[in-house]
Structure 1
Amino acid sequence: MASPATLQSALLLQKQLKELSKHPVEGFSAGLVDNENIYEWEIMIIGPPDTLYEGGFFKARMSFPKDYPLMPPKLRFISEMWHPNVYPDGEVCISILHPPGEDKYGYEDAGERWMPVHTVETILLSVISMLSTPNDESPANIEAAKDWREDYPAFKKKVQRIVRRSADML
């Protein structure tokens, strides 16, 4: 039998999924990977207009912990991604997906980290914003951040190639 916390998180996720189905948000779509598992979502992020990622269609997977919303989900791009804030394995590294509380390295303020008020919508809007404005101060992908800073034309060329490939995958 599921714990009360697990039941609560499942109900909250069902509510958020239903809300996104009724009122889609521009820039992404979300659904379940498998109708039997509310904790695994398939996401499609559309490259934001006026960014290098414009025209791209990027698949991602969002995995929620059983103690959601107390703890954040993980978001990982399945599609190829070249970005300073995305690890080479596709995992997204942004403040609101970091566990709540003080940052042991002192880099992030507790107010920038995960809070239970965040929803799938606020997370994905943050990811779309991240695509528009990378944070190269604390990169997850050192090579991408180095390209971004030191060889922007090479960075741009790699992203354009990924965007073209993503559109071909549809």
Structure 2
Amino acid sequence: MDFKIECTGGRGEREKHRCETHRLVASRMCPNWGCGSNLQPRGPEDTCFEFGVFPAILSFPLDYPLSPPKMRFTCEMFHPNIYPDGRVCISILHAPGDDPMGYESSAERWSPVQSVEKILLSVVSMLAEPNDESGANVDASKMWRDDREQFYKIAKQIVQKSLGL
């Protein structure tokens, strides 16, 4: 994954400092994959996404850390927890409080004590172990459940495309 850290809204000194802090945290998370806002981690080992390089944007709202950041892959992805437009759907990025659908506890959702490290680890974990029970991509969820071989084939094609092959 090529994580780009982006802050939305104002660009005062406080926001600039906050963005730089997030970039430093992200670069410490993945020291072997580059630095700053252009990290280049690979898909999780021993998964169908292994070796893939998937550009993504992590956007922080003005009221961060009270509200969660948003994450969106900017490349083609086929995964139960990634919407077709690239938005990531995992508990840690959902607004604090009770889940109106009842799928996740409030403890799994965003809170101001969460960190960039935890978000990145959660995304890597999501790629390795999809949750098909509350899928953002219905087709990917169904295929993950019913035709794992075909899912792996599509994932392999996406990895190859991410590498320019």
Cα deviation digits, residues 74-98 of structure 1 (max 9, x gap) = 1000111110000000000000000
* Contact 1:43-1:60 within 8 A present in 2 as well: no
User: Aligned letter for 2:43?
Assistant: G
The corresponding residue for 2:57 is 61
Question: What is the TM-score with the length of structure 1 in the denominator?
Answer: 0.81
Percentage of pairs with the same residue = 49
- RMSD of aligned alpha carbons: 2.2
Unaligned runs of 5+ in 2: 1-11
Equivalent-residue separation in structure 1 for 2:53 and 2:25 (angstroms): 22
User: Aligned letter for 2:92?
Assistant: I
Alignment of 1:101-140 (within 5 A): 101-140=97-136
Runs (4 or more) in structure 1 with deviation over 6 Å come to none
Unaligned runs of 5+ in 1: 1-5, 33-41
Q: 1:19 to 1:150 in 2, by over 3 A?
A: closer
Q: 1:144 to 1:54 in 2, by over 3 A?
A: same
Question: What is the TM-score with the length of structure 2 in the denominator?
Answer: 0.83
Alignment of 1:36-51 (within 5 A): 44-51=40-47
Would you say how many aligned residue pairs link Structure 1 and Structure 2?
A: 154
Whether 1:92 and 2:112 are equivalent positions in the alignment is no
Q: 1:167 to 1:74 in 2, by over 3 A?
A: same
Alignment of 1:5-24 (within 5 A): 10-21=16-27, 23-24=28-29
The corresponding residue for 1:159 is 155
Q: 1:8 to 1:75 in 2, by over 3 A?
A: same
